[in-house]
Amino acid sequence: MKRYIILLYLAVSAGIKAQIQDNPSVLTLNKIWNISESQNKQLKLAELAKEESDISILEAKDKQLPELSVVGDFRLNSKFLLYENGLFSSPQSVPIKGYGYGLGYNLDFNLYSGGKDKRNIEIKKEEKIRKQYEFELQEDNVKYMIAASYYDLYKFQEFESFISSEISSEKKQLSTIENLNKNGIVLKSDVLRISVKLSQLELSDSDVKKKIDLTKQRLNILMGRSGTEPLDISSEDILETKDLQGSNYEDYLTAALANSPDIKIVSANQTLSELNIKQVKSSLLPKISLYSRYNYTYPQISFYPYSNDLWGFGQIGLKVTYSVDNLYKSKHTIAHAYNLNKQEIEKRRIKQDDLSIKVRDAFLEREQARESVETAELTIRQSTESVRVIRNSYLNQQSLLTDLLDAENILLQAKFNLISAEANLRLSHIKLLIITGTL
């Protein structure tokens, strides 16, 4: 019979949990995370930054295309004076039209410029990778803010439940003490003390309800919804104890150094600084380009003999350009690029040290939260027994009401502490996973 009852209880519990999970109006932490991925305003902004990096790559590729321009002009010509015997001799006036025009094209195709264009594409691709890491970091930050608000809401709802239960219990206790007072067994002051405690509990209940409303608004906004939209969370959405059993500190640190978005960002910055050194050095190399141009001009006054007829002339060939001034001008620019690279290397080392501290802090925070849960559970067991003993003692007029009220307050506070400790344990575990980049 006992075994049948246990099986029935497990079946009912599983059914209730399944209903909660299937109910679309009840949101688990994972559901809220999923909604925020597409609706959170901060993530939308970060997504736009990622799209901008894609456009930057296309812009860099566009620079590899030939430069083609169409040229046209219209002009008024002055007199064409030809000084055959020197500047101070009488000039000969060459008859030309008083106006002129031209139409043509210029084509320039870069064949080699020290690899600048290809390297610029590499730089834009690396910047895109960094944007992706920045997006992941922003996504982790949003997830943590959601988790913190989610567990705050869970705590406040549990607090409200405890307080409501305590109010109901105290009302029954007040009725009992009022009857005892009427029979002359207890003093009127005991009735007043219970009434005062009820008033304090009702005030606390009102305060907790306000915190619940505020936290729901915060969660709705983080999900990209209206702050006043109804929100119900699942009290079953709590990590199992086995899920909170993690590796040791060294394993978490190894994972963080490999997966943390913070480390990936500084690594990408270091790679960009190395590419920048190569880009700056490329200014010391020659530039080779293929060019072509053709123009129709009227009148023909570029070559002798001159003519008032329309003429066309074009060229095609290879052009080599070498900036001699870069041999001395780029010296300090290259030194600057090397200095920036050294700074990025040091920043990465600093970030690694900072990350080791963060991992250690989060790891110890989780261990402390686990100890707090164990302490709170022990306190509840002891306080529950203490309340039972003192209540019986009070009803037998062997102890004071103040002793009973103190014991009840200690028990209520212990329940609060247990819920807070459980929420902090789960939140600290999520924080540790976020820092290590393994969430």
At 126, the pLDDT band (50, 70, 90 cuts) reads very high
Q: How far apart are the first and last CA of the chain?
A: 44
167 contact partners, CB below 8 Å, separation of at least 6: 198, 201, 202, 205
Which of 25-39, 63-77, 85-99, 376-390 is predicted with the least confidence, judged by mean pLDDT? 85-99
- Highest mean pLDDT among 216-230, 237-251, 341-355, 395-409 belongs to 341-355
Per-residue pLDDT band for 7 (boundaries 50, 70, 90) equals very low
Contact 307, 300 (CB under 8 A): yes
The whole-number pLDDT of residue 218 equals 93
For 40, the 3-state DSSP assignment is coil
pLDDT on residue 237: 55
Distance, CA of 249 to CA of 75 (rounded, Å): 79
291-303 confidence digits (pLDDT tens):
999 999 988 887 7
pLDDT category, 19, cuts 50, 70, 90?
very low
Query: Considering Cα of 424, then 430, then 431, then 433, what sign does the dihedral take?
Result: positive
Model confidence at 16, pLDDT cuts 50, 70, 90, reads very low
**Angle 325-331-333 from CA coordinates, rounded to 5°:** 105
Which ranges of 245-314 does DSSP label H, i.e. alpha helix?
249-259, 261-281
State CA 161 to chain mean position distance.
34
For residues 277-286, give the mean pLDDT: 90
Distance CA 162, CA 157 (A): 9
With a cut of 90, say whether residue 70 has pLDDT above it: yes
**How far is 185 from 62, CA to CA, in rounded Å?**
95
Mean pLDDT of all residues in 69-78: 90
Mean pLDDT of 212-238: 85
The string of pLDDT tens digits covering residues 143-160 is: 999 999 999 999 999 999
- Region 213-234: mean pLDDT is 90
* Average pLDDT of span 337-360: 94
- pLDDT category, 173, cuts 50, 70, 90? confident
Average pLDDT, rounded, for the chain: 85
Question: How far from 396 is each of 185, 407, 412, CA to CA, in Å?
Answer: 10, 17, 23
Give the separation between CA 243 and CA 426, rounded to whole angstroms: 9
Mapped onto helix, strand or coil, the DSSP state of residue 306 is coil
Q: What is the pLDDT, as a whole number, of residue 18?
A: 46
pLDDT at 11 over 90: no
Using the predicted structure, report yes or no on whether residue 242 has a pLDDT greater than 80. no
pLDDT surpassing 80 at residue 53: yes
Cα separation, 295 vs 72, in Å, equals: 9
Give me the percent of the chain exceeding a pLDDT of 70. 91
- What pLDDT is attached to residue 23? 53
**pLDDT for position 129:** 93
Tokens of 106: 């210029």
Strands (E), 186-239: 232-233
Structure pTM? 0.80
pLDDT confidence of residue 14: 44
Q: Quote the tokens at residue 14.
A: 């599983």
In 10 A of CB 123, how many CB atoms? 19
Structural domains in the chain plus CATH codes: 2-39+113-286+322-435 (1.20.1600.10)
pLDDT the model gives residue 236: 61
Residue 334 pLDDT > 70, yes or no?
Answer: yes
Asked if residue 329 has pLDDT above 90, the reply is no
Q: How confident is the model at residue 235 (pLDDT cuts 50, 70, 90)?
A: low
Q: Is the pLDDT of residue 96 over 70?
A: yes
Lowest mean pLDDT among 128-132, 240-244, 286-290, 325-329: 240-244
pLDDT bracket for residue 233 (50, 70, 90): confident
The per-residue pLDDT for 87 is: 79
Burial class (CB in 10 A: 0-12, 13-18, 19+), 345: middle
Task: At 67, list the tokens.
Answer: 């430069």
Structure confidence at residue 245 (pLDDT): 59
Could you give the CA distance from residue 325 to residue 330 in angstroms, rounded to a whole number? 8
Nearest-Å Rg of the Cα atoms of the chain is: 40
When pLDDT is cut at 50, 70 and 90, the band that residue 15 belongs to is: very low
